[in-house]
Amino acid sequence: MNRFLLAPLLLVFIIATPARADQADAEAAYQQGAWEVAANEAQRLETADGYAFAAGALVARLMVEDVGDGREALAERAIDLAEYALHLDEDHVEARLRLASALGFRGRYMSGWRAYLTRLPQRGRSLLEEVVTRQPDNAWALGMLGAWHLEVARRGGSRGLSALDASVEAGMGYYSQAIALDPESPAPRYFLALGLAALDEPAYTARIRELVEGARQLQARDAFDAAILGELEEFAAQLENRRAAAAWADARLER
């Protein structure tokens, strides 16, 4: 090959290889549960995909770790990363999904009324519905929509459900779709069980047990699943007493 043609190809290879390595490192760190490492490696890509992945890694950490006083700052970082991904690519579906997730956590760390006035739940729902419109088989988006409805019920009661046009039935329906689309994931079963338990309604007792038992049959595919299954065992130990289970679920969802 002509050496003048070879030089540019070598340059492309040299430039592209670190990017692929960063992506592989980010994915490997995520699989192992090293959420901060995953986020940092993904950010190094300086692409919409990278920033969206980084936001997702931080959201995963919020979902499975008790980060204590650092949770608000972590949610803000995830929001910033997802919004920057959308700045780079306004049509980026994954960035919309991660932004909705991060906004949900941000809203959880303030009063329900303040969250409503700043339109965090409204914006989160809009983002999730946009994703589902574009990708109706996106199990994560459907599960998050289910979580959105049940969180409104938990925090706002009947007034919140009316104000935001939400319902427990819709939440259960979205979660059921997510379970059907990704039957090997314990997450939608676990979080649906938590959401129902937190409502402290006897009518949901059988469904909660069914969800927990179904999730306990699954195998962890990565560190995220392993963390979910570990928590599931703690939750299962509370199920003999509905009030204890409700209190446990409510405290977990406040985290």
Question: Does residue 82 sit within a domain?
Answer: yes
Phi/psi class of residue 98: alpha, beta or left (left: φ > 0; alpha: ψ in -120 to 50)? alpha
d(CA 194, CA 34): 25
Print the domain residue range for 33: 10-109
pLDDT digit string, tens, across residues 20-53:
557 899 999 999 999 999 999 999 999 999 999 9
Question: Does residue 68 sit within a domain?
Answer: yes
Question: Does residue 30 sit within a domain?
Answer: yes
Question: Does residue 92 sit within a domain?
Answer: yes
Quick check: 109 and 72 in contact, CB under 8 A? yes
CATH of the domain at 71: 1.25.40.10
Which of these ranges, 57-66, 111-120, 178-187, 241-250, has the smallest mean pLDDT?
111-120
- How far the first Cα of the chain sits from its last, in Å, is 60
d(CA 224, CA 34): 10
How many folded domains does the chain comprise? Answer: 1
pLDDT digit string, tens, across residues 104-116:
999 988 888 888 8
Question: Does residue 104 sit within a domain?
Answer: yes
Question: Does residue 77 sit within a domain?
Answer: yes
Question: Does residue 58 sit within a domain?
Answer: yes
Question: Does residue 103 sit within a domain?
Answer: yes
